[in-house]
Amino acid sequence: MKIFITADIEGITGATNWGETDQKNEYFAELRAQMTAEVSAACEGALAAGATEIWVKDAHGWACNLISSKLPREVQLVRGWSGHPFAMMQELDKTFDAALVIGYHSHAGSSGSPLAHTMTGNMTYFKINGQYASEFMVSAYTAGLVDVPVVFLSGDVELCQDAQRFIPGLSTMPVQRGAGSSTTSIHPHLAVERIRSGVETALKADVSKCRVSMPEHFSVELRYRKHA
């Protein structure tokens, strides 16, 4: 079984402030370590479910966040940005059996996370076919384009709820809830344990139920914070 994992940082357990998501910030090291732990847990869950090959796309900011030596030996890690149109799903293709999404966050304009945004902080909202679009939705549609089911998501509560409406068979692990500029999170170690077991369970189930239905057309609407 060949598995693809895409990982962001704003939906990692405890992520609350923009500063701690920036590699130049003194508080980045702790969140980076937790991001690595949660991605590693997803890999371990996949291996327990029978995966023999795992590709991980580091998909936050400069895309060099994950500590590669802390990941299982079976992992191939994609770092940086190539300019490929799949962006956060770079290297995904039809050869993968399933995709996992770790550390994602609510869409631009949402109250689900103090770090809510979609692709860039320059937009107040991003809609696809009339629905507010999160980076999860964009990544899920990308997976749907190559017919790869998206079976597991970890992130904030509101995103997990939105995602399950979008993909009814999706397994989710909400690790925190946003309120204004604050978050309330579960314990980081508990998040790691639940992600590991959740991924294993999701991959042992019927993953075909998590295939993304592709619309006949896409209508995209963007609203920027500034005109220039």
**pLDDT band, very low/low/confident/very high, at 226 (cuts 50, 70, 90):** confident
Q: How confident is the model at residue 228 (pLDDT cuts 50, 70, 90)?
A: low
Q: How far is residue 124 from each of residues 78, 103, 127, measured CA to CA in Å?
A: 29, 21, 10
Render pLDDT for 49-66 as a digit per residue (tens, 0 to 9): 999 999 999 999 999 999
The residues, any chain, with a CB within 8 Å of residue 24's CB and separated by 6 or more, are none
Query: How many domains are there within the chain?
Result: 1
* Distance separating alpha carbons of residues 2 and 144, to the nearest angstrom: 16
Q: How far apart are CA 228 and CA 224, in angstroms?
A: 9
CATH assignment of the domain containing 188: 3.40.50.10780
Query: Residue type for 181, please?
Result: S
Per residue in 135-154, pLDDT (tens digit) is 999 999 999 999 999 999 99
Q: What percent of the chain is modeled with pLDDT above 90? A: 96
| pTM of the complete model | 0.97
8 A C-beta contact, residue 171 and residue 154: no
Give the domain extent around 68: 2-224
Pairing of strands 98-104, 150-156: parallel
Q: How far apart are the first and last CA of the chain?
A: 47
Question: Looking at the DSSP assignment, which residues form a beta bridge with residue 54?
Answer: 3, 75
Q: Give the bridge partners for 182, in sequence order.
A: 179
**Chain-centre distance of CA 62, in angstroms?**
16
